[in-house]
Structure 1
Amino acid sequence: MPEIISYSLLALYILGMLIILGYSLALGHLLLGFWKSKRAGERTPSDPIEWPRVTVQLPIFNELYVAERLLDAVTKIDYPLDRLEIQVLDDSTDETSDLIQKKIKEYAGFPFVYVHRTNRQGFKAGALKEGLAEAKGDFIAIFDADFLPTSDFLKKTIPYFQNDHVGMVQTRWTHLNEKHSLLTRLQAFALDAHFTIEQVGRNTLGAFINFNGTGGVWRKTCILDAGNWEDDTLTEDLDLSYRAQKKGWKFVYRPEIHSPAELPPIMSAIKSQQFRWNKGGAECAKKHAQSVLSSKFSLKTKLHAVAHLFNSSIFLVILMVSLASIGVAWMGLNGFSSSWTQIAGLFLFGFAIIALVYFVSHLYSRKRFWASLVESLLILPVFLSVSMGMALHNAQAVWEGLSGKKSPFIRTPKFNLESGKSNLKTNRYLKFSMPLTTWIEGGLSLVFFIMVLLAFRYEYFLFLPFHAMLAFGYGLVFITSFRSYSLGK
């Protein structure tokens, strides 16, 4: 019986490594697409003869700390006022509504349209859909409350719609508070890879890309043709993106157009955001994967779409591999020796490709090469460790998404700490209670730390780097989670 268990764990470990390898090869191909785009150069369309009507939608729900900042920013947008409409889609249930209406009155004559719903039916998707029904613009720009649209945003994005087949233009997120803490630096490191490598690579290779929920512009007819906003997933942006592209609409991603935004500064807020993103991604995979595979798109497009849709599922695999590695390492500690030990190289190869993607993205997203090189070498192992330490939390989200378990849309708290008008201790939106998984993360950190000690005790070092990163990653996630959840009490 022990041998059956041991070899079952080995089989799970090898299966997980092969999936990780496949995931890394897809990322590697996107990296090649990114380099291809650099060789091709950039082509910027000329301004239209007449600027079209544009509606800017601002979905807001209880945003006391950032609502005013957002409204101030949109009034600075450089665009003909007779061609512009700003829809403030306010679902707030607190003083945010009064604050917004007061702020709007300060800009008399500016084309604000205030829409307040008495219920949150459909959450953000519902607010966008109701606003769309009244929108006067032919194009719809969307900004979440934690964003600061630049003054030239519309004049840089709208020209791309002169191609009638373009249904959406997405811009790159940049970070207002990247240097606030280690956690914000790690988030910026991850998002830069998505916006620098993945989005560029997919767009260059003709694969499906996604509207990121904010910092982008839609053609109104594209939204309607694709079936309008739906609220049956937690990532309505990814869902609509796939429905539109399956109908033949073209998407454009422009990394040189920036949309600055705030990063969550504490782990409880990060986990809330990650849970929604990962569960919603899994829900969209369940909703769209089969139809994409049975479509007439090329095999390359289909494979990238599957990798894209099941992107969040990699956390299930990482959790499986990390837990199975305990048993496999125990086999090695007890003298089992066979060719399986060499298969670990497959994981290391995939791991190296993933690391390369993040390494390159950091170098290209920064202006100073040598400083960025040193920073990448320092932050990369920490980032990979914490990403693995998030596997339990994110795997739960993915499992719920794939299994069909529904949950409400939980907004990510905003802070605007840099303004000095708020702080972590007084933030009224920190109401998260600490889940059981946080204690399990602490336990897993201890387990992997013991595995590190056993590696030195028995001089068996095959899994030492992997287990050391897991011990550190789960430990850091546990400590930062414990501290942040206590803020809500």
Structure 2
Amino acid sequence: MWIYLFLGVYGLAMTFILLYSFAQANLLWHFFRFKKNTVPPASLLDPDLPKVTVQLPVFNEKYVVQRLIDAVCRLEYPAEKLEIQILDDSTDETFDLVQTAIRDYPEIHIRHLHRKIRTGFKAGALKEGLARASGELLAIFDADFVPDPKFLLKTVPHFTDKKIGMVQSRWGHLNEDYSLFTRLQAFALDAHFMVEQMGRNAQQAFINFNGTGGIWRKSCILDAGDWEADTLTEDLDLSYRAQQKGWKFLYRPDVVSPAELPPVMSAIKSQQFRWTKGGAECAVKHLKQVLKGPFSFAVKIHAAAHLLNSLLFIAILLVSLSSLPVWWGFYKGLIPAEFFQAAALFLVGFVVIAAVYFFANLQLAGYSRKGFFRYLWELPVFLSVSMGLSVHNGQAVWEGLTGIKSPFIRTPKYNLKEKDLGWFANAYHLRNVPATSYVEGVLALIFLLVVGLSIYTGTYEMILFHGMLASGFGMVSLASFRSMGRPASG
């Protein structure tokens, strides 16, 4: 019977989520057992400090580039051992702003490398900068970051271990309280930087350079084959190539590198599309090699979960769509009630994933009562919005797995902290509404209708799930249309 086909799809997708949750549960266990990777900070008077090149890849960043340069020029490190590269692909007034900012710091060695053709996008800029860098170590910061002045003094000492190839810091958030969506992004990122990065690093599993807020050994990059632009996540790609070569990565959750979160849905979707598609591309590129490599079973399992985590969006979408005929089948008595009772096992997966986000954020809040009650309401809202993004991100994953190429579209920066500052006049603001936003709106109405039917018929088994889907798809769709904004003022 056709209803069992949908039940099979539902069961397979839920099984994938359950298996993924087991890997997350293991990371949560090791998160609680994580030992600090701290070392005594370096002294400015240490004559053995290596030369460091700080690379700043920028492309049309007129709102944040001055702040970036000011922050990097405050880094505490011997001036004679510090080089700053501004890897500038800009086509607007950002170039002139960089030139003006450089003149404010004549005592610092700053090189402004401007490319007129963006070959390889960010990966290409980093590769060209690497060829001209004089430092043994390379710290990288995106345009919206404001690094800790002691970042180098805290991270450089780790490189006395010749096996260390990269040290990653934790991202902080400059504008997490700007809106509901910035809060939810902080909620998600904090789980990655706390439970996932700490849990993997605690058991020497593969971790990733997050594209910024990290420092590399130059010889590690070269040994791994240098930057490549064949995926949208050049950071994840290089991370896996380097660790497969035997280099050790280290994570410092106590070193915080604050950055800006996208304040509007169009920017969020642009960033999410690049991250999820790039993750799928890296899975195609690296998963087989890792599984065949000389690594422990635990390392291989976590690498598989890491590289395939973007498939969660396809799994969620399949569960969502197949739940409609499954709900109908239960209502009509076409599916025995025992099947529904057995399906309760799958709830374990959602409980584990929820626990990962909950404990990661609660630890950052110092396990305070205020944090506890705040995360109680943020968690279901976050899960709803995540499910609402499953159409958009599911498309990105499908394209990544099937080899469909697309250009690197950087996330626009706004430099917004106060709620009374608008984003609609930003010259880089993305005003296009993806076709998936219409699909999200239709799905919101469908699931809202099903919630109403569930109440009318007294079939409440899936009403919470369908209610979260209705609100999630609705919020994402409405925010997408709202982010079209007003016409730019110039």
Deviation at 1:488, TM superposition (A): 6.0
Deviation at 1:418, TM superposition (A): 2.9
For 2:348, the equivalent position in structure 1 comes to 349
Alignment check: 8 A CA contact 2:178 2:419 kept: no
For 1:445, the equivalent position in structure 2 comes to 444
Match for 1:44: what amino acid?
V
For 2:17, the equivalent position in structure 1 comes to 20
Moved more, 429-438 or 73-82: 429-438
For 1:70, the equivalent position in structure 2 comes to 68
Distance 2:479 2:393 in 1: 16
For 1:117, the equivalent position in structure 2 comes to 115
Match for 1:21: what amino acid?
L
For residues 272-326 of structure 1, what are the alpha-carbon distances to aligned partners after superposition, in whole Å with 9 as ceiling and x for unaligned?
0000000000000000000001111011111110100011111011001110001
Moved more, 18-27 or 413-422: 413-422
Match for 2:307: what amino acid?
L
**Is residue 362 of structure 2 the alignment partner of residue 373 of structure 1?**
no
Match for 1:388: what amino acid?
M
For 1:94, the equivalent position in structure 2 comes to 92
**SS of aligned partner of 1:178:** coil
**SS of aligned partner of 2:282:** helix
For 1:478, the equivalent position in structure 2 comes to 477
Of 187, 190, 193, which residue of structure 1 is paired with 2:188?
190
Match for 1:217: what amino acid?
I
Deviation at 1:447, TM superposition (A): 0.6
Question: Structure 1 residues 488, 438: closer, same or farther in 2, change over 3 A?
Answer: farther
For 1:126, the equivalent position in structure 2 comes to 124
**SS of aligned partner of 1:47:** coil
Distance 1:387 1:200 in 2: 23
**SS of aligned partner of 1:179:** coil
**Is residue 152 of structure 2 the alignment partner of residue 157 of structure 1?**
no
Match for 1:481: what amino acid?
S
Distance 2:155 2:486 in 1: 40
- Which aligned pairs between 1:36-55 and structure 2 lie closer than 5 A? 36-37=33-34, 40-41=35-36, 43-45=38-40, 47=42, 49=46, 50-55=48-53
For 1:238, the equivalent position in structure 2 comes to 236
Distance 1:128 1:303 in 2: 31
Match for 2:355: what amino acid?
L
Deviation at 1:367, TM superposition (A): 3.2
For residues 233-283 of structure 1, what are the alpha-carbon distances to aligned partners after superposition, in whole Å with 9 as ceiling and x for unaligned?
000000000000000000000100000000000000000000000000000
Is there any run of 5+ residues in structure 2 with no aligned partner, and where? Answer: none
Distance 2:114 2:149 in 1: 26
For 1:32, the equivalent position in structure 2 comes to 29
Distance 1:171 1:291 in 2: 27
For 1:107, the equivalent position in structure 2 comes to 105
Deviation at 1:433, TM superposition (A): 1.3
For 2:435, the equivalent position in structure 1 comes to 436
Deviation at 1:457, TM superposition (A): 1.3
Question: Structure 1 residues 253, 343: closer, same or farther in 2, change over 3 A?
Answer: same
Deviation at 1:51, TM superposition (A): 1.1
Moved more, 478-487 or 83-92: 478-487
Question: Structure 1 residues 488, 360: closer, same or farther in 2, change over 3 A?
Answer: farther
Deviation at 1:420, TM superposition (A): 9.9
- Which aligned pairs between 1:339-418 and structure 2 lie closer than 5 A? 339-367=338-366, 369-418=368-417
**Is residue 284 of structure 2 the alignment partner of residue 286 of structure 1?**
yes
Distance 1:47 1:416 in 2: 32
Distance 1:90 1:450 in 2: 51
Match for 1:452: what amino acid?
V
Deviation at 1:430, TM superposition (A): 1.5
**SS of aligned partner of 1:248:** coil
Deviation at 1:45, TM superposition (A): 4.5
For residues 144-179 of structure 1, what are the alpha-carbon distances to aligned partners after superposition, in whole Å with 9 as ceiling and x for unaligned?
000001110000010111110000000000000000
Deviation at 1:189, TM superposition (A): 0.2
Moved more, 117-126 or 42-51: 42-51
Moved more, 359-368 or 6-15: 359-368
For 1:324, the equivalent position in structure 2 comes to 322
**SS of aligned partner of 1:228:** coil
Distance 1:222 1:111 in 2: 24
For residues 96-119 of structure 1, what are the alpha-carbon distances to aligned partners after superposition, in whole Å with 9 as ceiling and x for unaligned?
101111111121121111100010
Alignment check: 8 A CA contact 1:18 1:346 kept: no
For residues 127-147 of structure 1, what are the alpha-carbon distances to aligned partners after superposition, in whole Å with 9 as ceiling and x for unaligned?
000000000000000000000
Distance 2:418 2:7 in 1: 52
**SS of aligned partner of 2:139:** strand
For 2:460, the equivalent position in structure 1 comes to 461
Distance 1:15 1:385 in 2: 21
For 1:210, the equivalent position in structure 2 comes to 208
Distance 1:22 1:182 in 2: 30
Q: TM-score, normalised by structure 1?
A: 0.97
Question: Structure 1 residues 487, 286: closer, same or farther in 2, change over 3 A?
Answer: farther
For 1:255, the equivalent position in structure 2 comes to 253
Alignment check: 8 A CA contact 1:172 1:255 kept: yes
Deviation at 1:334, TM superposition (A): 1.1
Question: Structure 1 residues 421, 69: closer, same or farther in 2, change over 3 A?
Answer: farther
Match for 1:205: what amino acid?
Q
**SS of aligned partner of 2:246:** coil
Match for 2:84: what amino acid?
I
Deviation at 1:414, TM superposition (A): 0.2
Distance 1:343 1:120 in 2: 54
**SS of aligned partner of 1:115:** strand
Of 111, 133, 136, which residue of structure 1 is paired with 2:134?
136
Deviation at 1:337, TM superposition (A): 4.1
Aligned length: 484
For 2:5, the equivalent position in structure 1 comes to 8
Question: Structure 1 residues 44, 316: closer, same or farther in 2, change over 3 A?
Answer: same
Deviation at 1:342, TM superposition (A): 1.7
Alignment check: 8 A CA contact 1:63 1:96 kept: yes
For residues 347-398 of structure 1, what are the alpha-carbon distances to aligned partners after superposition, in whole Å with 9 as ceiling and x for unaligned?
2110000001111011111136111100110100000000000000000000
Is there any run of 5+ residues in structure 1 with no aligned partner, and where? Answer: none
Match for 1:374: what amino acid?
F
**SS of aligned partner of 2:484:** helix
**SS of aligned partner of 2:177:** helix
Alignment check: 8 A CA contact 1:430 1:487 kept: no
Distance 1:275 1:42 in 2: 32
